Amino acid sequence: MRGIVLSVFLSLFCSASFGADKILRVTFQAAETGFDPVRVSDYYSGSVIEAIFDPLLTYDYRARPAKLVPNTAEALPQVSDGGRTYTLKVRSGIYFADDPAFKGRKRELTAADYAYSLGRFLDPKNRSPYAFLYEGIGKIETPERMTLRIRLKNPDLNFSHVLAFALSGAVAHEAIEAYGDESAAHPVGTGAFRLKSYTRSSKIVLEANPGYRERYFENRRIPSIRGVEISVMEETQSRWLAFQRGDTDIEYALSELAPKFLTPENTLRPEFARKGIRLERSVDPEIIYFYFNMQDKTVGGLSKQRIALRRAIAMAYKIDDQIRIIRKGQAIRAQYPIPPGVAGYDPEYRSPIPYDPRAANALLDQFGYRKGKDGYRRQPNGERLVIVFSSSPTERDRQFDELWKRSLDSIGVRLEIHKDRFAELIKLSHQCRLMLRGAAWIADYPDGDNFMQLLYGPNTGQSNSGCYRSPEYDRRYEKSRRLPPGPERDRLYHEMTRIMELDVAWILTDSRYRNVLLQPRVRDFAKHPVLHAEWLYIDLE
Amino acid sequence: MNNYFLRRLWQAVPTLLGVLLFVFFLFNWVGGDPAYLLAGKIPNPEMIEAIRRSLGVDQPYWVQLWIFVKQVVTADFGASWSTNERVSEIFATRLGPSLTVLLPLLFISTVLSLAAAMLVAYVRGSLTDRAVMVGCTVAQSVSILVYILVLQYVLAYQLGWFPVQGWGSTLGENLGYAALPVLVGLVVSLAPDIRLYRSFLLEEIGQDYVRTARAKGLSEARVLWLHVLRNAAIPIATNVLIQLPGLLAGAFLIERFFSIPGIGREVILAVERSDFPIIKAVTVYVAMATLLVNLLSDVLYKALDPRVQLK
Amino acid sequence: MGSLAVVVLLLAVMVLSAAGVIARNWSEEVGVSYAPPKWFASTTQDTQTQEEQAVRKLDDYGIPDPIGPELAEINARLTGGGGPQARASTLPLGGDKWGRDVLRKVLKGTEVSLFVGITAACLTALLGTLFGALAGYFGGWVDDAFNWIYSVFTSIPYLLLVLAIAAVLGHKGIATVILILGFTGWTGIFRLVRAEYLKHKVREYVLAADAVGASDMRRMFVHILPNVSHVVLVQLSLHVVLFIKSEVILSFLGFGVGVETVSWGSMLAEAPSELILGMWWQIAAATAAMALAVTAFSLFTDAVRDALDPRLQ
């Protein structure tokens, strides 16, 4: 009798602790800023927002390349008017998480909520950093309770991606009005999770939303996990140690320490594989590049001389060392402005610019950049030649400073480092006042247009950081906007890339590998190119 | 005594005003424009203007200064420019973690270094004394950065004696998380404190009353314990008090590496994000705390030592 | 006196390095990335490169190269050759991530760190002594004004003050670091010098000088200053120590010396990422050098203070 009681008690205890431990523990590498979609621009806040709010569309978890599927919408949007009008029906029976702002009643999701939420981005009072994504919206209508119609100012075949974007989730106006300035700390959504507790810049705890609609994934009701515990840990060392001790379940950002867990062949080291730890490796849909300011009086312009100067610099920059030493081998060379996983990517494309410091030296000699008595080259008109590279005062950026020094020393070009805070550098670059700087762009949505627009002349002062204006490029870009992804658009993209490369507007360097480490108990994880966090779909044993 | 207290308080006002002026012109003049950081990836000019207007950045300086003075008086610095969290909130929530590390650290460090200093004062002049002093000097010559890294790596990672980093929600949990940070802080502060307290003790030992006590036949140990310590207690106590405000802001390295959500870490974040309200508030509050603590320690002096004349 | 010898040795290293006699080619890449120290056998990581070696004929997509002809001519002219040079697999004290010799870096770093520490200390001593002399000597509103500035500066914690001024002056290398340190450290010296001047200005020899008709400036700097100099000297040495350690912190925060040179601080700033990968030699070398220098200066300071201060016998 006692034995039965004991074993029943034990099994209850064990299953209880099993079930109670369905909490996923992860870390953020940088502090979040808040959870109001309209106030946020960083990747980490975006992950949490994705978990709490529901956009109309989303992406299929498993499909590669990324495929749009309906989320709270009944079906993919009806696109009419040559790409100017998008019509969707919102599913009925979806409710916001319970919250005091609703004064005790259950609040159903309607089309008006999306009209409200998307409209917030257009309101300059909200000063959203992502307003640019929604700029194309002209009018939002709700002809019926559950029908949403969006009229764009110009035809845009990619607008569905905006509707699937993490920040396009539905917020309830009652919650925004109730919480006012504190809305970033009190997110109320229809998503799979809700905010349980929140210590700013330190710990975020999400719990499964009990009112979440019935939803299945591969025969499993999701979310399968009970909650997510996120700790903000800025130091890589701390995150690595925490993962090793089993304190965290998934680690996304340890590539700096790759040699510790990867063999030289980039497989998981046996001592970790033996413990059941798994590695998921994929290339992020991002490009990293250096841009020249085409309006700069030393390096800018499209004259043959300037092209030669920039070409020589590009031929001397040690991309190989960047990948080998700074990235610790955890990156691939980016040959094309569109990265893998994004529509329009071409794995066959190769850059015409080789690494050849000898030829670079000869090129500079030929075009009048002669060496002076101090061993450094001067401009053809006799003035001092100084390349000013701008970066922020972090240890990470310092490595790039050193690499630039080594690269430019190999062609006898003098380098000066200009240090300033990130905020200042952004300002100066938008004003076209920097000479040379590094930049990175990760896909907001998986279409190549998101990348090619970075070189479009009229985007100078915004996303076109190099202030590049090439009529040849711009002409082709405008044509490409009217084409769907396919061979015709690819041909234009090839030409545009070649134009940009020969002008040396950019020095494309690499796209980084994302090494995701998983503890054995994490199941059904698949790193998605666009979706920030896979918390909705994974399971824990 | 009351007079003295009030007069000192009154004297602190111009200093505080000086601090305000200094902080204001330093950050307003130079600080740079945070609008672009807030406006994110692709800003447009209207948005920038809207932000700058709402932040008061486009007003003339004297208007901004007046706003700043009002903020100080009402202790309302508005909200953080990047997270919109109220600055007073930030202080309220970050103070706890900082103190959870600093108060135990201060206490243990004072006790240990005082004990060590007394031992050394007891054997002053001997080989032990010199060896300990040289040891302290060498220990002090290593950067705090190295101590943090090595201790964290060896004690937390290799040996697993402490949690690597983090912070919990209950005091009990947090004391556990604070253990290694306190240990690191201890290692860093012991050496300078021992040297300092030793010099305080030696200064007292050189006084006439000590010779008198010895002449009366008291043992060296009693002399140390009964007389010297009591008199040295004043400079020691004031030294401890005075350290506190500085430690608050200065513990940022420890807070950063151990992911402790305290004030020091907040300062670093604010400097990186050009988050003026936070930097201004921290500077002003800490300056006020320093002035207050200095005043209190002077009053303490007067209360404990009747020889000291306070005019 | 051992400390004096070490101090002199370090100063010698500083001068020799500055003159280019030693550590001249500190930035030359002579080893492989993270070459281990010679006497310490271990395996190094060899990280992968994704570079393809194949040369292929490229499609030009119909876009002509503006400098095509010139490049073709250059390529035709340059024949093969110039392969990668041999790199050492171990170095005496190891190598950093670019394969630079840690021994040479440490020597160069000694020059730079000592230079920063000593120059900043001199600047701060100058400011502190000047302010202290003026305040202590003239008294009255001059004293009040300086005391006001002093209390403003001392009510803001050192680190916060340093960060604030660093934000003002920006990131411009050694000069910035020296200025930051110099402008924040003068308060201690000011207080001591002022106290000395208060004491001395009523002394007989000063009154005598006044009777003879010496000007204020003369009395301050020709008569009193030499008698106060022992205090300043001790403080100077103390501040060298303080500033060497502060430079490390500043470098970690990103305000350190630039990439064209190296200091102990910049070597230690790479510490977090290196130590976790098991690359301990650069940190060890920099810490050892710094410990040696700081200890030597500290002991030297103690010796000087004991020798010069009449009270502590």
| pLDDT one-digit tens code per residue, C208-254 | 777 777 777 777 777 777 888 888 888 888 899 889 888 887 777 66
pLDDT digits (tens, 9 = 90+) for A80-116: 988 899 999 999 999 999 999 999 899 999 999 999 9
- pLDDT band of residue B274 (cuts 50, 70, 90) is low
The whole-angstrom separation of Cα A454 and Cα A477 is 11
Measured in residues, chain A has a length of: 541
- Assigned domain for C146 exists: yes
Q: Which of A152-161, A500-509, B178-187, C80-89 bottoms out in mean pLDDT, i.e. has the lowest?
A: C80-89
Give yes or no: residues C114 and C230 share one domain.
yes
Q: How do strand A436-442 and strand A286-292 relate by DSSP bridges?
A: antiparallel
Interior angle at CA B266, CA B260 and CA B270, nearest 5:
150
- The per-residue b/e assignment along C89-114, b for 16 or more CB within 10 angstroms, e otherwise, is ebbbbbbbbbbbbbbbbbbbbbbbbb
How far A383 CA sits from the closest chain B CA (Å)?
32
* Within-domain flag for C136: yes
* Residue C95 within any structural domain of the chain: no
The tokens for C299 are 């002991």
- Among C120, C123, C114, which residue's Cα sits nearest to residue C8? C114
What is the Cα–Cα distance from C308 to A41, expressed in whole angstroms? 62
Phi, psi for C203 (deg, rounded to 5): -75, 160
Number of CB atoms found within 10 A of residue A491's CB: 15
The whole-number pLDDT of residue B41 equals: 41
For chain A, give the mean pLDDT. Answer: 89
Q: A236 and C272 in contact by Cβ < 8 A?
A: yes
**Residues of C whose CB is below 8 A from B282:** 160
Q: Is there a domain that residue C181 lies in?
A: yes
Q: Which residues, 6 or more positions from A123, have their beta carbon under 8 angstroms from its beta carbon?
A: none
Closest CA to A463 of A132, A236, A163, A71: A132
Smallest Cα distance from C33 to chain A, Å? 7
Q: Report the pLDDT averaged over residues C183-203.
A: 86
Range of the domain at C225: 102-312
The Cα–Cα gap between A403 and C27 comes to 12
Distance between CA C312 and CA B202 in Å, rounded? 10
Residues C82 and C111 in one domain: no
pLDDT at A317 over 90: yes
Distance CA C207, CA C201 (A): 8
Quick check: is C222 in a domain?
A: yes
Spatial contact of C249 and B148, defined as CB atoms under 8 Å apart: no
pLDDT the model gives residue A250: 94
Note the pLDDT of residue A19.
Answer: 34
Chain B environment of C163 (Cβ under 8 Å): 267, 271
Angle among Cα B25, B26, B28 to the nearest 5 degrees reads 60
Phi, psi of B43 (to 5 degrees): -85, 160
Question: Do C129 and C48 sit in the same domain of this protein?
Answer: no
The torsion of the CA quartet B200, B203, B205, B206, rounded to 10 degrees, works out to: 180
Top pLDDT among B19 and C311 is at: B19
User: DSSP characters for chain C?
Assistant: -HHHHHHHHHHHHHHHHHHTSSSTTTT-B-B-TTPPBTTS--PPP-----------PPP-TT---TTHHHHHHHHHHS-S---PPP-BS-BTT-B-TT-BBHHHHHHHHHHHHHHHHHHHHHHHHHHHHHHHHHHHHH-HHHHHHHHHHHHHHHHS-HHHHHHHHHHHH-B-SHHHHHHHHHHHSHHHHHHHHHHHHHHHTTSHHHHHHHHHT--HHHIIIIIIHHHHHHHHHHHHHHHHHHHHHHHHHHHHHT-S--TTS--HHHHHHTHHHHHTTT--HHHHHHHHHHHHHHHHHHHHHHHHHHHH-SS--
Whether the CB-CB separation of A130 and A244 falls below 8 Å is answered with no
The tokens of A436 are what? 């040379």
Q: Does C222 lie in the same domain as C81?
A: no
**Distance (Å, whole) CA C107 – CA C286:** 9
Q: Which tokens sit at A357?
A: 């410091």
C82 and C106 within one domain: no
CB contact under 8 A, B38 and A200: no
Which chain A residue is nearest to residue B82, measuring alpha carbons? A33
Structure confidence at residue B127 as a pLDDT band (50, 70, 90)? confident
Check whether residue C131 and residue C264 sit in a common domain.
yes
Which residues are within 8 A (CB) of B145 and not within 5 positions of it... i.e. 6 or more apart? B253, C248, C249, C252, C268, C271
Among A24-38, A168-182, C85-99, C162-176, which stretch is predicted with the lowest mean pLDDT?
C162-176
Q: What average pLDDT score do residues A231-251 get?
A: 85
Question: Under a CB-based contact definition with an 8 Å cutoff, are residues A240 and C276 in contact?
Answer: yes
Predicted local confidence at residue C51, as pLDDT: 39
Which residues make Cβ contacts (< 8 Å) with residue A516, sequence separation at least 6? A250, A251, A252, A279, A280, A281, A282, A525, A527
pTM (two decimals): 0.79
Residue A186: closest CA among chain B residues belongs to which residue? B85
Q: Which residues in chain C have Cβ-Cβ distances shorter than 8 Å to B144?
A: 249
Q: Say whether C157 and B146 touch across the interface (CB within 8 A).
A: no
Q: Which two tokens stand for residue B300?
A: 């303490």
The complex's ipTM?
Answer: 0.75
Mutate to test the interface with C, among A502, A504, A512, A515 (most CBs of C within 10 A): A502
C239 found inside a domain: yes
Better-scored residue on pLDDT, B242 or B286: B286
pLDDT of residue A42: 78
Where a domain ends, among C70, C90, C110? Answer: C90
Alpha-carbon span A198 to A232, nearest angstrom: 11
The answer to whether position C14 is within a domain reads: no
Looking at the partner chain, which of C148, C276, C291 has a beta carbon nearest the beta carbon of B15? Answer: C148
Residues C224, C303 within the same domain: yes
> Any idea what the CATH number is for the domain that residue C203 is in?
1.10.3720.10
Pairing of strands A286-292, A250-251: unpaired
Average pLDDT over residues A507-526: 93
B232, exposed or middle or buried, with CB in 10 Å at 0-12, 13-18, 19+? buried
The Cα-based distances of B153 to B87, B157, B277 in angstroms read: 34, 5, 36
Beta strands A386-391 and A147-152, pairing class: unpaired
pLDDT at residue number C171: 62
Residue C236 lies in a domain: yes
| Beta pairing partners, A194 | A207
Residue A103 CA to residue A112 CA, distance in Å, equals 19
Both tokens of residue A141? 């209508």
User: Do C153 and C65 reside in the same domain of the chain?
Assistant: no
- Read off the pLDDT band of C30 (50, 70, 90): confident
Question: CA–CA separation, A481 vs A479, rounded Å?
Answer: 5
pLDDT band at A30 (very low <50, low <70, confident <90, very high): confident
Contact of C107 with C13, CB cutoff 8 Å: yes
- Other Cβ atoms within 10 Å of A372 Cβ, number: 13
Q: Are residues C152 and C294 in the same domain?
A: yes
Better-predicted residue by pLDDT, A423 or A197:
A197
Q: Specify the range with the lowest mean pLDDT, choosing from B214-218, C193-197, C255-259, C308-312.
A: C308-312
| Best residue of B53, B170, B259 to probe chain A, by most A CBs closer than 10 Å | B259
* Chain position carrying tokens 């009005």: A177
C-alpha distances in Å from residue C68, one per residue of A382, A503, C21, C72: 25, 12, 46, 6
Structure tokens that stand for B47 in this block: 């948005």
d(CA A423, CA B273): 7
> C226 and C122 in one domain?
yes
Residue C129 sits in the same domain as residue C234: yes
Residue contact B36–A426, C-beta within 8 A:
yes
CA angle, residues B48, B49, B54, in degrees to nearest 5: 100
Residue C58 confidence class, pLDDT cut points 50, 70, 90: low
Which of C29, C64, C90 is where one domain is finished?
A: C90
d(CA C32, CA C99): 5
Domain count for chain C, please give it: 2
CB atoms near residue B173 (< 10 Å): 13
- Residues near B240 by Cβ (< 8 Å), separated by ≥ 6? B106, B110
**Residue A232 Cα, gap to closest chain B Cα (Å):** 7
The answer to whether B257 contacts A235, with C-beta atoms less than 8 Å apart, is yes
Spatial CA neighbour of A499 closest among C61, C292, C71? C61
- Are C149 and B286 in contact (CB < 8 Å)? no
Local confidence band at A17 (pLDDT 50, 70, 90 cut-offs): very low
Write down the residue that tokens 């447009």 correspond to.
B44
Residues C65 and C117 in one domain: no
Residue C18 contacts residue C6 (beta carbons within 8 Å): no
**Residue A422 corresponds to which amino acid?**
F
CB contacts < 8 A, A to B, total 124
Pairing of strands A227-232, A23-28: parallel
Q: What is the mean pLDDT of chain C?
A: 79
CB contact under 8 A, A362 and C272: no
State the DSSP code for A230. Answer: E
Q: How confident is the model at residue A57 (pLDDT cuts 50, 70, 90)?
A: very high
Q: Where does a domain end: C60, C90, C120? A: C90
| A498 vs A32, higher pLDDT | A498
Q: Do A259 and C172 touch (CB under 8 A)?
A: no
Task: Name the percent of chain A lying above pLDDT 70.
Answer: 96
